[in-house]
Amino acid sequence: MSSQSIIVPQISSFPGHEGAARLMLRWLVQKNIVEPQLSTCGLTGNRMGYAIAEGARQVVEQPEALPFGQPVNGLEIITQRCIFMPEAGFLEEAGCPECQKEVGPVLFESLDDWYPGHTDNFICPECGHEDDINGFIFLQPCGFSDLGFIFNGWGEATLKPSFVQAFAERLDCKVRLVEVETL
């Protein structure tokens, strides 16, 4: 079992998401957090990612837990619409920020329309409040976006809040940190 720390902008359709991905990668390479060249250090798809670099020690709480020397240790950048949530133990609980009612079952059913891009929004069935799906309250961190940054094997090391905040500032968007255990 390993872990992923995923930073997800809190917007379904990030404006210029591919350009933003390149800018963020350039920043991470300049800070020596990841290597500049793709390698097979990823976990999904073709396993391509950007391997961990020495500067990663500066952005985590427990540098000794970083996956140096492990085959899966790199950053994967997602630029397609994706649902970022824990695979195991996720309760699918969500609430409306307006009326505070539980809307999880209906919200998660609506992902059939969200995922292919038919809509970015969800409408509360209780009060009619409409917002980007990320604007709703989730009891467990998750994210829905066409941009995501997956740090494979970094979960135990714990990303520093200051690093997550710097990520948000560079993207000029609120972000959510999603921690995932993988098999």
Q: What is the pLDDT of residues 101-128, one digit of tens each?
A: 999 999 999 999 999 999 999 999 999 9
The answer to whether 82 touches 145, Cβ cutoff 8 Å, is yes
* CB of 49 closer than 8 Å to CB of 41: yes
Report pLDDT digits (tens) over 129-154. Answer: 999 999 999 999 999 999 999 999 99
Cβ(61)–Cβ(160) below 8 Å: yes
Distance CA 112, CA 154 (A): 30
Q: In angstroms, rounded to a whole number, what is the distance separating the alpha carbons of residues 46 and 60?
A: 27
